Structure 1
């Protein structure tokens, strides 16, 4: 499960938008990784992008995957995201 989560997060900034000025995406990633943010708080920031109950339930499960991780794992994910933002591929953005 950890591998799936890491792959999903690593796919988000592939086009380097996250590290090049999309503050909303960066905030969403930070809230996803932050263990102090509850599922309800996480969904509050995404309300305008949730088309229905099915998507809401999927996002709850997605956030719960992160809540189930250790602080060390979450810290490593944050380091990985920072490395992606600072990568050579994103330097031109």
Structure 2
């Protein structure tokens, strides 16, 4: 079990370094998780992708779900998202 934890921790910096390759996706994920981004700022940043008021209202509720979380939970979500996005990247040859 300790070996698994060590291997996971050693792989994390590589996953964080890799990124998704899509800056807009990374910005959207970051603004969703960031507790300093208000609902209004969040909607403004996604305005070009929102087709109507119903979608905007649902996105406000979605953002509020993240605003209701503790900083520790938000940090864990950030780590999970980095690992999830990085898992879809092809392996890079050095």
TM-score by length of 2: 0.71
The ranges of structure 1 where at least 4 consecutive aligned residues each deviate by more than 4 angstroms after the TM superposition are none
Shift of 1:84: 1.9
Q: What SS does the aligned partner of 1:20 have?
A: coil
Q: 1:86 is paired with a residue of what secondary structure?
A: helix
Give the match for residue 81 of structure 1: 81
CA deviation vs aligned residue, 1:26-52 (integer Å, no higher than 9, x gap): 100000000000000001111111111
Matched, 1:23 2:23: yes
Shift of 1:56: 0.4
Larger Rg: 2
User: Can you give the 5+ residue segments of structure 1 that lack an aligned partner in the other structure?
Assistant: 1-18
Residues 1-93 of structure 1 aligned to structure 2 (within 5 Å): 19-87=19-87, 89-92=88-91
Return the alpha-carbon distance in structure 2 between the equivalents of residues 56 and 20 of structure 1: 25
Pairwise CA RMSD of aligned residues?
1.6
Gaps of 5+ in 2: 1-18
The alignment covers a number of residue pairs equal to: 74
Match of 2:15? none
